[in-house]
Homo-oligomer: A and B are copies of this chain.
Amino acid sequence: MTQAVEQIEVGYDVPAMIGDRIEDIETPALIIDLDAFERNCTRMRDYTEAMGVRLRAHAKTHKSADIARHQMAHGGACGICCQKVSEAEALIRSGVTDILIANEVSGRRKVERLARLAKKARILVCVDNAENVEELSAAAVANDVTIEVLVEIDCGARRCGTQPGEPALELARKVSVAERLVFAGLQAYNGPAQHIEDPINRRAAIERSTELARKTIELLSANGIECDIVGGAGTGSHYLEGKSGIYNELQAGSYIFMDAHYGRVRGENNMQVGGFEHALFVLTSIMSKPEPGRAVCDAGLKAHSIDSGLPIVFEVPDLAYVSASDEHGVIEDPGHRLKLNSKLRLIPGHCDPTCNLYDWFVGVRHDRVETLWPVTARGKVY
């Protein structure tokens, strides 16, 4: 960690130098089409402004302080979401000052770390358990800080979250009276629903979630507890929660990059949802041409995540990435287009875990490397 850098070596230290042509980037590399990225940021800013809701952009997608700052300066974001304390630690060290951990934080050391962050930034966190409220309050008292708290309800995802209605009211009461905690509202995120590819089924699932949130808010209000924040939503459903009249803070993340899975999530016009463009690619090289019609590229399981399916070759529909091993991908090339060292752009199956594999984003514009952004919180999963 303290090793001095005598010389930056392309390959070992960085995947490219500023000004390099795309074909000179060492592969596999994670590249951002900066024009498409900036357009995606502007689109989401305009959507949320038009719907009259706030955007709290989710940094778990990119884990980058540079991108978080861009979202706040130019993309209409009021603040940032993280999923982990270590992500927040990394982004706060890089100057981000308003972070919701859109997740539960428990355990002695983690809660202590969270409380220390509240000395440096506005910190919000979710709870779904009374024991956890006590942990958080004790750490806030010990560190002489205030932590804002959202009660998370399970609105259909069957992951974390207390049950809507009475259990949520009970927990909100507990937060409201806990020393050095401030009840800030409700977290009602239905992750699986926003990934439903069919727009009609997606709408129906989000409507059920929204109804659970609405009833809970009304119950809390009837008991004198008002929700300043009602948070949730993602790229696949932002327009549904945004127009619901219930949600006021959207937590979309993937819209800046998109991925092969989100490419299949259709908006109500049957276009790619939100009109967001593919802006993130794994640049890969053909490293073997063992027989006609089959090529092997240098991007395998350590270069992109296949949990949501295989990557797609960008803008070359007759090429197919058909299998991944640790360090290789097999490409079917029926038209014999590919040569040794040919470059391809792969749209990764799932952007979030793919970004987490890399130390650098390579920002490209007009076929040149314009910037290198560190993946600030890469590996910060704890």
Contacts and interface: CB of A to CB of B under 8 A. Distances in A.
A160 B288 contact: yes
Contacts of A307: 301, 306-307, 324
A301 B290 contact: no
Number of copies: 2
A12 B160 contact: no
A341 interface: yes
B302 A353 contact: yes
Interface in A289-315: 289-291, 294, 296, 298-299, 301-303, 305-307
B303 A11 contact: no
A159 B27 CA distance: 19
Contacts of A291: 163
A359 B350 CA distance: 22
Interface string A73-96: 000000000011110011000000
A214 interface: no
A296 B191 CA distance: 15
Contacts of A159: 288, 290, 296, 325, 328, 330
Given A11-B85, A302-B356, A28 B160 contact: no
Given A12-B89, A303-B381, 16 more contacts: A2-B5, A10-B109, A60-B326, A83-B327, A129-B289, A129-B340, A158-B294, A159-B296, A160-B287, A161-B290, A162-B290, A298-B381, A301-B350, A301-B353, A327-B381, A357-B379
21 contacts: A1-B5, A9-B89, A10-B109, A12-B86, A83-B327, A103-B287, A106-B285, A106-B340, A131-B340, A158-B290, A159-B330, A160-B328, A163-B291, A191-B325, A298-B382, A302-B352, A306-B307, A307-B307, A327-B381, A357-B381, A358-B379
